């Protein structure tokens, strides 16, 4: 039996822990990576001149060749608000329900990005499977 290296699932929270907002988690397995949620936080009173706070996406940028997509759980700002900023830095399809993607379409239009991003509708109970991965 060949000695095969076992892949490990890495779960890397980039925001949303011990705070309200900036929900973003990376799931990485071997050469495949998905991001779940892509949210903003709103600034504290002492953060003068700052409109939005987004997660640090340096890890995603450095590993962008592994990124297969961004899955959005629902359309609240703390889950979708950072999408335009992140999608300017990395290219990935965005998966979500029809309502969530409609909200994302509006957000992308605000940033003149509606034709630059692939949005993929998923339905309750659907399995996302792409044998290329």
Question: Which pTM value belongs to this model?
Answer: 0.87
Q: With bands split at pLDDT 50, 70 and 90, how would you rate the model's confidence at 125?
A: confident
The mean per-residue pLDDT over the stretch 31-46 comes to 87
The mean per-residue pLDDT over the stretch 114-121 comes to 93
Spatial strand order in the sheet of 94-96: 9-15, 24-29, 32-36, 67-71, 94-96, 119-121
What are the domain boundaries of the chain?
9-121
pLDDT in tens, 42-65: 767 776 666 778 889 999 999 999
Checking DSSP bridges between strand 32-36 and strand 67-71, what pairing results, if any?
A: parallel
Q: What is the pLDDT of residue 53?
A: 80
Q: What is the pLDDT of residue 42?
A: 78
Q: Which CATH architecture has domain 9-121?
A: 4-Layer Sandwich (3.60)
What's the longest Cα–Cα distance across the chain?
61
């Amino acid at each position: 039996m060949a000695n095969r290296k076992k892949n490990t699932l890495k779960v890397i929270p980039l925001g949303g822990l011990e705070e309200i907002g900036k929900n973003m988690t990376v799931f990485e397995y071997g050469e495949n990576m998905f991001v779940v949620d892509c949210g903003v936080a709103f600034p504290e009173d002492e953060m003068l001149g700052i409109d939005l706070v987004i997660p640090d996406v340096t890890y995603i940028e450095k590993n962008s060749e592994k990124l297969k997509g961004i899955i959005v759980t629902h359309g609240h700002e703390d889950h979708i608000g950072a999408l335009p900023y992140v999608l300017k830095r990395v290219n990935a399809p965005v998966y979500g329900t029809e309502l969530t993607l409609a909200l994302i379409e509006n957000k992308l239009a605000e940033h003149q990005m509606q034709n630059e991003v692939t949005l993929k509708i998923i339905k309750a109970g659907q399995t996302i499977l792409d044998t290329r991965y």
